Amino acid sequence: MPPPKIALRAGPYVKAPRDVATIMRHVVYSLLPVCVFFIYQYGASALLLLLTVTLSCLATEVVLHRAARQQKTEGKWGEGEGRREKGKTSGCSNHWRFDLTLPPSPFSLFPSDWSATITGLLLALSLPPGFPLWMGALAGIAAIGLGKALFGGLGQNVFNPALVGRAFAQAAFPAAIALYTPAFLPGRFLECIPGTLTLPFLLAPEIAPWLHALHLDTWTGATPLGRWKFEGLTVPASELVTAMTLRATAGVAPGIVLLGGLYLALRRFLDWRIPVSILGTSLALAGCFYLYNPERFPDPLFVLFSGGLILGALYMATDMATSPLTARGVWLYGALIGVLTIVIRYFGGLPEGVMYAILIGNAAVPLIERVTQPKPFGHRKAESRGLRVEVRGLNGKTASGVLLSPQPSVLEPKPSILEPQPSNAPHAISSMTLVRTLGLTALLCGVIIVAAYQLTFAAAQDNRRIALERTIFKLLPAAQRIKAYYATETAIHPVDSAGSHPNSVKFYATFGGENQFTGIVVEAAANGYSGPVRLLYSYSPECACVTGLGVISLKETPGIGDKIITDRVFLDNFTRLDLRLDAALQTLAHRVVAVRHGSKSQPWEIDAIAGATVTSRAVARAIDDSATKLLPRLLPMIETVRAP
Amino acid sequence: MTERTDNFIEGIWRQNPVFVMTLGMCPTLAVTVSANNALAMGLATTFVLVFSCLLVSLMREIVPKEVRIATYILIIATFVTAVDYVIQAVSLAVYEALGAFIQLIVVNCIILGRAEAHASKSPPITAAVNALGMGLGFTLGLMALGCVREILGAGTLFGFSLFGAQFQPWVIMVLPPGGFFVLAGWLLLFNWLRQRGEQTASPAPQDTGGTHHGH
């Protein structure tokens, strides 16, 4: 029989002329003007940053792509040994084997879609232009490695890779990522911003001398959002859109990003509903806040055009792999990101919230898709008596269905068919035995605990005393002898035993040579950002003020909250912090408060550390609390305490 | 390899609590911000593990199985309390750094797991040797995380500066995400080593895909 002349083929028969690579390529085209303007703003540093980050992303992609492809090839087209494994590997091709021998041709392994280029460009555009190149390269590796390859490559990732890279950089190098330099400097095309060429693993140099040479001493490195958050200053939206003035510059210009996004939306390369939903929600919410209190909250247009909101809404939130597929879900997703952005910006610790808002939005996508799933025509609700079952296969796919009229055995326990067999059953152990065993064990354990306590008590006590003395002598170098007291509601007692006194304030009178009174050191504590902050502060009755601050224990974020130990400007607050009492000697004349960085005007105010406001407030609260409790009781008896 | 050596080595390599059994993840991730803390935590856990297993093994004949969990917890809590006192006496700085995680050794599943699975069925010496191996394996795991996190996160090792004052610390490494990243890196390395080992052991691989556990 001759072979049939009609070739039988499965659909689809008509293909759209666009594939992933086409769409990605157009996204890159639309980003090019943004990149050009970024380079025009910041010069050589911006160019180097864009190149480094993008190359780092591409290199990571190639290496990991190769590792993953190696595995796939074995399962599908491999010869010899590979073919034998076909049946085993095809079902779970995400088991990687890291075999890094050289490929036959480097180009054959180059990923043909442009997704890693987009990730690199977006990541670079979301970083400050003077960001050290080695940190940028590391962020690129994190973006592709952690954000994409780990999930299984393009289309499998849960989070936008560029934002994963940026979140990594934000957590790893919080100081460098917050430092923006002025745009449009005269020599920007020939000279780099000092941080750019930092050697790998080293600190970026201080930019103050560089700024001084450019006569820009007042530049703080804060973005418009940062200045609004910590100093209460806003910039008109008209300046922010083009970012052409010095005070409005921070990264890319929203105006050009909008044009690029418009192009993509018109060509249907991005879902216009996502940016419309994000920007609309944040504009509406910011408008509500603005109408409620124009003093405290900025005008909505400032919110819209500051920071990375435009870039994030148009290019990052619209990432096809990490945004919902359902029509209603898209609106919901955008609204979630918009609301989160405003909430984080207004009430969070950081000035910018777009990055975390989009990442949280990404995480919510499966849930959003689930609740907005359109109903198929003719779909009925599952029968009430049916048992809904969902099966998850090894390949990650799920199937669900309704088990109608379930078997009784599934839901109800069967009556036991085992007859009681008294002959072979073990004897029940008598209660006496159980109690005796537990009692004996408890006795033995008690003996061990008491022995350990007795053996270590003296040494532990010594350790505590030494640690305390060290802190006190650091605060009051003239002190040589310490006498401990505690103040209760009614009186002041010397501490004679190791007993604890709830609700009392512990303090120490210190004496120097020849029993000369040198000052009082008071214990204070309050809850900080991630646990209690325990402090000691020295109090001088002569000036009725705090003269020094020491930290006993602290669990705040390293590099941020623990600045209260090292920050010179912050510690200067405590050389003469006013603690005078009111006329009736009943409470403090002025409560100790932490105020926004740079706005201290009264001697009882504490100039908070920018970015560590929560910890600064905790210090203020701790001192205020203990001084309010202690001083009204201490001052009438100060002479007794002063006497040696 | 004799049975006794194998009994000791088991916890250090083949059944390493951190890298193979992935048990006790709470202290593994939480206190490994520096090599010092990791070492202190590892030794404290080893101490509790060895003495609890020894005592459980000694009492295995007289404890009825109805109250065995209560007895084990009592014994473990006793040694945790003792180690808590000892650390206070040795160094207040370590005590502050480890914080509540010393007391939380009570609920470390490695200890109850070893008491239940091994010590309650073995003679005292065997139980103690096995517990020592497990404890050292745990310490090794914590140290592997602690060293990497301290070197990258602070540029120091055991408090000694490695790269001078110009080093840029990777703050993320001393934050919780850094713990996850470093643990993942070590797991990747050890699983890769094991895959390689299995391939060289059997030249015609039978199970390159599906049967690996611990992924």
**What H or E segment, with its residue span, contains residue A333?**
helix A327-347
Mean pLDDT, all residues of chain A: 81
Average the pLDDT over B116-138 and give the result: 92
Q: How far does the CA of residue A468 sit from the closest CA of chain B (Å)?
A: 11
Above 70 in pLDDT, residue A302? yes
Tell me the pLDDT band of B4, cut-offs 50, 70 and 90: confident
Contact with chain B for residue A553, Cβ under 8 A: yes
Chain A CB within 8 Å of residue B214 CB:
no
Residues in chain B with CB shorter than 8 Å from the CB of A456 are 85-86, 88-89
Q: Which residue of A has its CA nearest to B215?
A: A95
Across A231-258, average pLDDT: 80
Cβ–Cβ below 8 Å for B166 and A202: yes
Tokens of A28: 């890159």
From the list B117, B54, B66, the residue with the least C-alpha distance to A436 is B66
The pLDDT-based confidence of A69 (bands split at 50, 70, 90) is low
Selected for mutation to probe chain A from B60, B68, B85 (highest A CB count within 10 Å) is B85
Q: Is the CB of B117 inside 8 Å of chain A's CB atoms? A: no
- Which residue is closest to A97 within chain B, CA to CA? B192
d(CA B9, CA B18): 14
Strand, coil or helix: what is A548?
strand
Chain B residues in contact with A137 by the CB 8 A cut-off are none
CA distance A433 to A431: 5
- Signed CA dihedral, A351, A354, A355, A361: sign only: positive
> How far is B212 from chain A, CA to nearest CA, in Å?
10
Q: Which among B70, B89, B172 is the nearest to A459, CB-wise?
A: B89
Q: Using a CB–CB cutoff of 8 Å, tell me whether A429 touches chain B.
A: yes
Distance CA B71, CA B119 (A): 13
- Please report the number of interchain residue pairs, chain A to chain B, with beta-carbon separation below 8 angstroms: 116
Question: Which of B77, B92, B99 is nearest residue A463 as measured by Cβ atoms?
Answer: B92
Is B99 in CB contact (< 8 Å) with chain A?
yes
Lowest mean pLDDT among A238-242, A371-375, B148-152, B178-182: A238-242
| ipTM of this complex | 0.83
pLDDT at A408 over 60: no
Residue B42 Cα, gap to closest chain A Cα (Å)? 20
Comparing A138 with A198, which gets the higher pLDDT?
A138
Mean pLDDT of A138-142: 95
B66 contacts A429? CB cut-off 8 A: yes
Q: Best residue in A394, A448, A464, A560 to probe B by mutation, most B CBs within 10 Å?
A: A448
Q: Which band of pLDDT confidence, cut at 50, 70 and 90, is reported for residue A152?
A: confident
Statement: residue A284 has pLDDT above 80: yes
> What's the pLDDT at A162?
95
Q: A285-294, A453-462, A634-643: which has the minimum mean pLDDT? A: A634-643
Contacts of A433 in chain B (CB under 8 A): 64
Cα–Cα distance between A98 and B192 in angstroms, integer? 8
Q: Are B13 and B140 in contact (CB under 8 A)?
A: no
pLDDT of residue A401: 63
Over the Cα atoms of chain A, what is R_g?
A: 33
Of the listed ranges A265-269, A383-387, A609-613, B161-165, the least confidently predicted one is: A383-387
Which of A453 and A13 is assigned the larger pLDDT?
A453
Q: Which H or E element spans position A481?
A: strand A481-487
B189 touches A: beta carbon within 8 Å: no
Closest alpha carbon to A612 in A349, A352, A353 = A349
In the predicted model, is pLDDT for residue A569 greater than 60?
A: yes
> In terms of CA atoms, which chain A residue is nearest residue B97?
A555
Q: What is the pLDDT of residue A4?
A: 67
What six digits make up the tokens of A183?
Answer: 């745009």
Predicted confidence (pLDDT) at residue A213 exceeds the cutoff of 80: yes
**Could you count the other beta carbons within 10 Å of the beta carbon of residue A24?**
20
Q: What pLDDT score was predicted for residue A403?
A: 56
Q: Do B82 and A95 count as a contact with CB atoms less than 8 A apart? A: no
Q: Using the predicted structure, report yes or no on whether residue A82 has a pLDDT greater than 60.
A: no
pTM across the whole model:
0.76
Could you say which residues from 164 to 183 on chain B have a Cβ atom under 8 Å away from some Cβ of chain A? 166-175, 177, 181
Asked if pLDDT for residue B212 goes beyond 60, the answer is no
Q: Output A34 or A79, whichever has higher pLDDT.
A: A34
The helix (H) or strand (E) run that includes residue A549 is strand A545-553
> If you search the block for the tokens 């499966």, which residue do you land on?
A366
Among candidate residues A186, A196, A251, the one with its CA nearest the CA of residue A222: A251
Q: Give A-chain residues touching B207 at CB under 8 angstroms.
A: 88
The rounded percent of chain A whose pLDDT value lies above 90 is 28
Report pLDDT digits (tens) over B143-196: 999 999 999 988 889 888 888 888 888 989 988 899 999 999 999 898 888 888
| Beta-bridge partner residues of B161 | B156
- How do residues A97-123 score in pLDDT, each as one tens digit? 444 444 444 444 555 678 899 999 999
Three-class secondary structure of residue A599 per DSSP: coil
Categorize the per-residue pLDDT at B131 as very low, low, confident or very high, splitting at 50, 70 and 90.
very high
pLDDT, tens digit (0-9, with 9 covering 90-100), for A4-23 = 678 777 777 777 777 788 88
Question: What integer is the mean pLDDT of A193-217?
Answer: 83
Confidence of residue A286 (pLDDT cuts 50, 70, 90): very high
Contact across the interface for A555 and B99, Cβ inside 8 Å: yes
Query: Residue A95: what pLDDT?
Result: 41
Given a cut of 70, is residue B72 above it in pLDDT?
A: yes
Main-chain dihedrals φ then ψ at residue A507, nearest 5 degrees:
-145, 170
Q: What is the mean pLDDT of the segment spanning A58-69? A: 83
Confidence class for position A497, pLDDT limits 50, 70, 90: low
Regarding predicted confidence, which is higher, A82 or A368? A368
At A508-555, the pLDDT tens digits run 888 887 888 888 899 888 888 878 888 899 998 888 889 888 888 787
Q: What is the pLDDT of residue A131?
A: 92
Do A123 and A35 form a contact (C-beta atoms < 8 A)? no
The larger pLDDT score, comparing residue A3 to residue A59, is at: A59
Comparing A161 with A155, which gets the higher pLDDT?
A: A161
- Give the pLDDT confidence score for residue A313 in this predicted structure: 94
Chain A partners within 8 Å of B156 (Cβ): none
Of A104, A97, A107, which is closest to residue A69 (Cα–Cα)? A97
Residue of A nearest to B88 (CA): A460
Residue A448 has pLDDT above 80, yes or no: yes
A464 touches chain B (CB under 8 A): yes
